[in-house]
Amino acid sequence: MDFEISEKMSTILEMVTAFMDDEVIPLEGEMLHGDPATLQALVGDAQVKVRQMDLWAPNHPVEFGGLGLGMLDHGLLSEALGRSPLGHVVFGTQAPDAGNIEILHAHATEEQRERFLRPLVAGEIRSCFSMTEPETAGSNPVLLATTAVKDGDDYVINGQKWFTSSADGADFAVLMAVTDPDAPPHQRASMILVPTATPGFNLVRNVSVMGHEGSGHASHGEVIYQDCRVPQSNVLGREGAGFAIAQERLGPGRIHHCMRWLGIASRAFDMMCDRANARVISLDGETLADRQVIQHWVAELDAEIRGARLQTLHAAWMIDQHGAKEARDEISAIKFSVANTMLKAVDTSIQVHGALGVTDDTVLSHWYRHERAARIYDGADEVHKTSLGRRILRRRATATA
């Protein structure tokens, strides 16, 4: 394993870190307290500067306007971007667009690439990913109830989705729907590209998450498909391959999440240390940093973040070297371990900040609300632990038989 950073990547990371500190993190005040339209304009200005630096869409294909970074390099970059909730958006590598771009690049027809992929990478349009349903278990996609029935040259789609992330303002959805209910369970569903302007695509609401509905990219939509008709040529890949493509998308997608979480954990940790050093707690000038319990928290959290970072880099290296399928153990392990490390970092930092930590005067409360779902989306912790544990035990049984 070689995690050495190339000279080019070192330069990119230096540029990105400086830009995050100078241009992106200062926008968080508008994000937390200001007007969404004003924030969108400020983000747009920052995106123009990123393009001028030739750093737009770093993990996306070169032939479509990205930098084409591998998983390991993108991991290092994503950690730097994850230090702010706005980082990935400013650099054009935000979810769910990032994952949708990956599967479009791998499975789209030339016509689909020109219509959907090229403008998506360019940041001219946004997309959403429409799989989760309120009445079926999201951890088991073979239970999907939304259907796409053939009628002539079209599919007629009916069903209810929610947590269709970023549906508000998206130009198209990557929809997972059952196209053949009589096929084997893992071949029943297909992925279909659905322009959101299509009659029958109904964005009902932005789902309120811990009191915040959000808007635009920062939202999770409830969508009802009601006799929504799209041509069969909008199927992504082959019909019946929806489950396989979803797994292909979710593997690297989980890496993307973990890389971003490391950035959150790193900044929450830095904020915790700064607060401990600055907070005077006695008349003789003692600070929180003088308390042994704080010193223990700092040491333990530093060790956890270091371990989580190495785990994530190793998983990214495995994907680059051997592909996502061969890295499934590493991906499962980091999905639950890194999520919990990130949440511990945020929670501990809030504790050290005291009353300030639960206010919206810092970004910590934003992360506390919106990142709790890290242990649920893209497979709940328990699902990943069960899958990983079962594979390990089966291998051991085979080896000792």
pLDDT digits (tens, 9 = 90+) for 109-155: 999 999 999 999 999 999 999 999 999 987 787 899 999 999 999 99
Backbone dihedral angles phi then psi of residue 116, each to the nearest 5 degrees: -110, -45
Using CA atoms, how far residue 271 sits from 4, 32, 312, in Å, is 27, 17, 22
| Residue 312 pLDDT greater than 80, yes or no | yes
pLDDT at 141: 79
Task: Provide the strand spans (E) within 96-232.
Answer: 127-130, 147-151, 154-165, 172-178, 189-195, 201-206, 214-215, 218-231
- The predicted model gives 237-244 an average pLDDT of 94
| Residue 38 pLDDT greater than 90, yes or no | yes
Q: Count CA within 13 A, CB hemisphere, residue 239.
A: 14
CA distance 72 to 69: 8
Structural domains in the chain, sorted by start: 7-108 (1.10.540.10), 127-236 (2.40.110.10), 244-400 (1.20.140.10)
| Mean pLDDT computed over every residue of the chain | 94
Three-class SS state of 391: helix
- The predicted model gives 324-332 an average pLDDT of 89
| DSSP-assigned letter for residue 117 | I
